[in-house]
Amino acid sequence: MVKWIVLGLVLFALLVLALAVRTVLARLPQLRRAAVALQRRQADAEALAGSAQALQARAESLQEQLLTAQHRMELIKAKRQG
């Protein structure tokens, strides 16, 4: 009698496990699509980060040029005044 109860419990546990595995396997295509979309977004973010670094370098270069131009203007004004 105990054998049948144990066998029934084991079969029930296997059935629950099979249903859980089936649910996970059914969602795998959705998870794969989501993973591909996330990888695409990561690539886009990396590309934007590279562009941002290039823009930052350009802004620093322009800042240096501006300081040089201001310094030259001050020298020109000083020569005109005296």
Q: What distances in angstroms separate CA 49 from CA 43, 46, 52, 54, one per listed residue? A: 10, 5, 5, 9
Question: What is residue 41's DSSP assignment?
Answer: H
pLDDT of residue 47: 94
Ranges of the chain with pLDDT below 70: none
Q: What is the pLDDT of residue 40?
A: 97
**pTM, 2 dp:** 0.53
Half-sphere exposure for 70 (CA within 13 Å, toward CB): 6
Q: What is the pLDDT of residue 10?
A: 93
C-alpha distance from residue 17 to each of 8, 12, 25, 56 (Å):
14, 9, 12, 55
d(CA 13, CA 28): 23
Q: Is 1 helix (H, G, I), strand (E, B) or coil?
A: coil
